[in-house]
């Protein structure tokens, strides 16, 4: 089976949306990526760190979904990374209420020995030096390195970010961040500039407006499924990345054509994620549900035009 290395936070989140609020629940980029990638037949390992306060049941939950947790360091006398946020009424924007780095502050990622030759590495949103640290531990160059990041790192660690960006094949980034990174408003121009920075493939995430995949002069647009109700957008971007990476790891085909399909898988999985609070919807998703929704994506976008 293909191997997938996932690096990112494993965390506590407290979330408030117009529909309700939660106490500290399971969150973190690596969590969402791992749960999403677990829908594909791959060996995946999460590389992260938690404190002694992190419940065993959360670790078990990941293990039960076939995410290898050997690479999740437990700092017994430390506290787990904690984020809390409140979404506005439109669910498209949010305020961060709390960010407690805790054990993340001195995180030194360790890739499990038997994952150092993984074909695919998914670098979830974390300090670019941590992302580079994971790449450095790989004994052979991964066939595909994917990087997710956010504006925070552009603000405080741009040089480190630009260094690691040089070393990856794909970047996933949201529209505002693509604009910030390049100073370009047009996403077409922004994507071209990002390709010049290193990644041959650029995925621009637009939330409820879908995602764009750029490569050379090719562009592919995957819509987001219009939903009756968005309950909690937390983790949607990571779930997208997990579906994208998981599908590519499973198929081992890193062509533009196959990446289009990977983007659709990512969008499909993200559409489930937002239906419930936190990771709830992702914990027991079935293949049947996924296939049904993929079918909806097909009818959502497919049309026939005879060009003469």
Size of the site for a second copy (CB under 8 A): 41
Closer residue to a second copy in complex, CB, 55/252: 252
Shorter beta-carbon distance to a second copy: residue 139 or 255: 255
Cβ proximity to a second copy, 166 vs 292, nearer residue? 292
Using CB under 8 A as the criterion, what x/- string covers residues 228-267 for binding a second copy? xxx--------------------------x--xx--x---
Distance CA 240, CA 264 (A): 9
Q: Which residues are catalytic?
A: 238
If one counts every other C-beta atom within 10 angstroms of the C-beta of residue 44, the result is 30
141 binds a second copy (CB under 8 A): no
Give 110 or 225: the residue with its C-beta nearer to a second copy: 225
Q: Is residue 97 near a second copy by the rule CB under 8 A? A: no
Q: Is 299 in the site for a second copy (CB under 8 A)?
A: yes
User: Closest approach of Cβ 28 to a second copy, in Å?
Assistant: 28
Residue 212 sits in the site that holds a second copy (CB under 8 A): yes
Q: Which residues bind a second copy (CB under 8 A)?
A: 89-91, 185-189, 206, 209-210, 212, 218-223, 226-230, 257, 260-261, 264, 291, 294-295, 297-305, 307-308
């Amino acid at each position: 089976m293909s191997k997938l290395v996932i690096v990112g936070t494993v965390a506590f989140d407290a979330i408030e949306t117009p529909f309700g609020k939660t106490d500290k629940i399971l969150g973190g980029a690596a969590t969402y990526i791992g749960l999403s990638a677990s829908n594909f037949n791959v060996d995946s390992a999460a590389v992260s760190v938690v404190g002694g306060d992190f419940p065993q049941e959360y670790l078990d939950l990941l293990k039960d979904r076939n995410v290898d947790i050997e690479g999740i360091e437990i700092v017994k006398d430390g506290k787990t990374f904690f984020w809390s946020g409140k979404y506005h009424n439109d669910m498209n924007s949010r305020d961060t209420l709390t960010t407690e780095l805790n054990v993340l502050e001195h995180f030194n990622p360790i890739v499990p020995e038997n994952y150092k030759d993984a074909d695919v590495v998914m670098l979830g949103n974390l300090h670019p030096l941590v992302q580079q640290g994971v790449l450095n531990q790989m004994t052979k160059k991964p066939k595909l390195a994917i990087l997710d990041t956010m504006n925070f790192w552009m603000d405080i660690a741009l040089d480190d970010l630009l260094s690691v960006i040089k070393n990856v094949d794909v970047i996933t980034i949201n529209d505002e961040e693509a604009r910030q990174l390049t100073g370009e408003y047009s996403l077409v121009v922004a994507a071209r500039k990002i390709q010049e920075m290193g990644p041959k493939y650029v995925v621009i995430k637009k939330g409820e407006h879908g995602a764009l995949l750029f490569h050379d002069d090719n562009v592919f647009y995957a819509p987001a499924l219009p939903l009756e109700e968005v309950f909690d957008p937390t983790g949607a971007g990571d779930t997208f990345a997990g579906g994208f990476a998981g599908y590519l790891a499973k198929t081992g085909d890193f062509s533009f054509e196959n990446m289009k399909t990977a983007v659709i898988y990512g969008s499909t999985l993200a559409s489930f994620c937002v239906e419930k609070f936190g990771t709830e919807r992702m914990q027991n998703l079935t293949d049947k549900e996924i296939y049904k929704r993929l079918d909806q994506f097909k009818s959502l976008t497919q049309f026939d035009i005879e060009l003469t």
